[in-house]
Amino acid sequence: MKIVLAYSGGLDTSVVLRWLKENYKAEIIAFCADIGQEEELAGLEDKALKTGASKCVIEDLQEEFARDFIFPMFQAGALYENQYFLGTSIARPLIAKRMVEIARAEKADAIAHGATGKGNDQVRFELTAAALAPEVKVIAPWREERFRKKFPGRAEMIAFAKKNKIPVEASAEKPYSTDRNLLHISFESGVLEDPWFDASSKKMRGMYKLSVSPEDAPNESEHVDLGFEGGNCIKVNGKRLSPLVVMQTLNKLGGKHGIGRVDIVENRFVGMKGRGVYETPGGAILHFAHRQMETLTMDREVMHLRDSLIPKYSELVYNGFWFSPEREALQALVTETQRNVSGLVRLKLYKGNIIVAGRKSPKSLYDPKIATMEGEKSAYDQGDATGFIRLNALRLRIRAALTQAGGSTGKKDR
């Protein structure tokens, strides 16, 4: 039997690799998508082979990740439950897409992942596989009773790794798990499962990797200019950059100023709540700047229509429906809304804060001659507002008259 395993080199996938090899008597091809883990990939191939893989495939997918996944999602203004930048969620469809392609090329019998049966990632991996390669079998060890019986908790996994000389970063002293990519790094489980636990305390500062704490950020602000074209950031400080380099540049700037830290209790797709701590320095800057560009260039009704779809779009990404017809349909609408979202946004970064310092665009819908409080009658006659208000107040006056005459508004009839 041949299995392609989504492999990160962390505790879970390292243990899963060895367990699959022993229990399925299978040849394991470890696949790692390089989507911005940076130093975490050092020595990964050697580690996978020593853990039991017959082959380790590491592919640089960073540019594709930024161009075809992160940027379209940010055009949509996606933000799950008004807080989460969807860093883990948006990475999974790309990883799973490449996994099934490798499985076909290697003539593998199945793909496998180390996602738990309580989380969202299992859904994201498997919905992507179903959409792109429904004939490929998926193995999820965490949903097998024999696996859970052997590993009821992380302590047993750490002990197993130690016994089998599998080097992992997790330890009894550092029990939380992490997931890193170009957009963010997430922290969850272990000590973080207590929502009262303060993840911003001084003793936890060593946990963070992409940003300094706002308290430790520079005492002086820094300005950055972001140039947009068609809803995508194409320039930083006047220099034209690829989507990948835009993200890398903004990550460094945001991390330097303590920007993009989010600590939330979110609603998982499987039904329970989960606590996650995230660092998204570049994503936070990009999301904020993009919105500022839209305020200047998007028609009001188009903006409100798109905004009404943000919760649905974000939910689709979070729940794993990236390769679904409804997400693709929404993306087509988003693309149309972004046609004129072009121009320049200037931001000021200071101790965890993103402050708008200016915005301009050749396609701006803001006209100072109309917006001015001065008495310019040719562009806008303030007297016209009288009829506008009278028409909008008509139903309110009718209702008020009915109430004053002793009529019912319907409340007492229920």
Q: Which amino acid is at 53?
A: A
Answer yes or no: 92 catalytic.
yes
Q: How far apart are CA 26 and CA 261, in angstroms?
A: 41
> In the block, which residue shows the tokens 């034209």?
240
Q: How far is CA 193 from CA 154, 172, 175, 188, 274, in A?
A: 13, 15, 11, 7, 8
C-alpha distances (whole Å) from 172 to each of 79, 313, 380 are 33, 38, 68
Burial class (CB in 10 A: 0-12, 13-18, 19+), 63: middle
Query: String of b and e for 26-61 (b: at least 16 CB within 10 Å)?
Result: bbbbbbbbbbbbeebeeebbebbeebbbebbbeeeb
- Given 8, 12, 98, 306, the catalytic residue: 12
Distances (CA, A) of 354 to 103, 154, 205, 281, 413: 44, 38, 21, 10, 51
Paired sense of beta strands 27-34 and 2-6, if any: parallel
Annotated catalytic residue within 8, 89, 98, 121: 121
Give catalytic status of residue 384 as yes or no. Answer: no
Q: Catalytic site residue 225?
A: no
- Degrees (nearest 5) of the Cα angle 185, 188, 189? 155
Residue from 89, 92, 98, 189 carrying the catalytic annotation: 92
Q: 8, 14, 89, 177: which one is catalytic?
A: 177
Residue 237 to residue 248: CA distance in whole angstroms = 14
Residues classed as catalytic: 12, 92, 121, 177
